[in-house]
Structure 1
């Protein structure tokens, strides 16, 4: 392989947020502050996200007022929710542009969506002071949030400090906080903490989480739910 080909491939991967160019080569973004684009992340760990989403739908009742944060796991949750009977008559507050577009595309207008406004991130989330001000004026039953990484014993983190602040704002207006995250996030790291374990009511992940991390997380959070990916695969066949 020529050096020119390597440089071109590195540039393409860097543009997608999958690695970071450095002098003499590239390094993984898993230990850095940046994150892949929403379009890239949406193609990752699809089966895990489906399993987590199906469990999360059980925490919504018809007529609820809920908030859904940014990220692809929350987006997959919104997809499953809107296809279920639990979505009947619900109101969704969201800072996720893709989630808002999902609701707007519904043939039935039985679901109301409120969009926060704000500055757009790489994950197509709306964040910043405008978003936080809108959120602060409202109240929801439950907020469903994704996370970039899970740190034991610190909590849940995001690479974008503005997104972390908006997630905190949504938690502050919710009666219940649920974090949706697959098992790979326990091996990632990020800069900005948006929630401690004792601030979260339920963590829904998949059964790929290693036993040691599962045991430690269960000791720190009120409820840990392990979704079974195999069940999702069987249902889709």
Structure 2
């Protein structure tokens, strides 16, 4: 099934709203969309967030990159940058692992967690968690399905939430990458409180009240401008 058919099917079911150039989520979305569908949502927003996130990586770093399309776009920009020199990437994202492997770079190492594959092409569960817990990274970069103020960051898949928590547990710093539409979503499983996050990178489409409330809860809130 093509990406367009995936989007059309979910739109017919009321789970997505079709817009020019792609689709956006609806507030009632509780399940995890396919990676192919998510990759067409809010592309400009994700791109600006991803470019900003690259600034938080230094050559030689050991980082973890979670699942989801924003994290994938971050990995794309990172691998095209000078900051990627000599880095090691731990990931539970199959698309991110394939992206690094396709580069055939002798200067970048990728470690894949293993585990159970989700609809968003992430690897989760006890196998993934055990691998993660045996390692240590400088920074973890994670996406999120929804942002709940004042609760924190949530995923629709409890196993994916647990694996994200495991990644946070081995990281010196945690950075969340998410666009402003996630403030209107609802999800099941909490994986991080605001006080557990060092930096939250989102876009300036976030309304003023939500931005002010969020800024009071997180150590560092960064608002980016949508890429054209």
One fold, TM greater than 0.5? yes
Q: CA deviation at 1:13?
A: 1.6
Distance 1:18 1:202, change over 3 A: farther
Distance 1:11 1:72, change over 3 A: closer
User: 2:145: which partner in 1?
Assistant: 148
User: 1:131: which partner in 2?
Assistant: 128
User: 2:15: which partner in 1?
Assistant: 19
User: 1:100: which partner in 2?
Assistant: 97
> Equivalent residues in 2 for 1:51-200 (5 A)?
51-200=48-197
Q: Provide runs of 4+ in structure 1 moved above 2 Å.
A: 9-12, 14-20, 28-33
Aligned residue for 2:41, secondary structure, equals: coil
User: 2:37: which partner in 1?
Assistant: 40
- The whole-number CA distance in structure 2 between the counterparts of 1:152 and 1:183 is 13
Deviation per residue, 1:153-211 (Å, 9 max, x gap)? 00000000000000000000000000000000000010000000000000000011100
Q: CA deviation at 1:110?
A: 1.0
- The whole-number CA distance in structure 2 between the counterparts of 1:16 and 1:94 is 33
TM-score normalized by the length of structure 2:
0.90
Deviation per residue, 1:58-90 (Å, 9 max, x gap)? 000000000000000000000000000000000
Of structures 1 and 2, the larger Rg is shown by 1
Q: CA deviation at 1:108?
A: 2.4
Number of residue pairs the alignment of both structures matches: 216
- The whole-number CA distance in structure 2 between the counterparts of 1:169 and 1:73 is 19
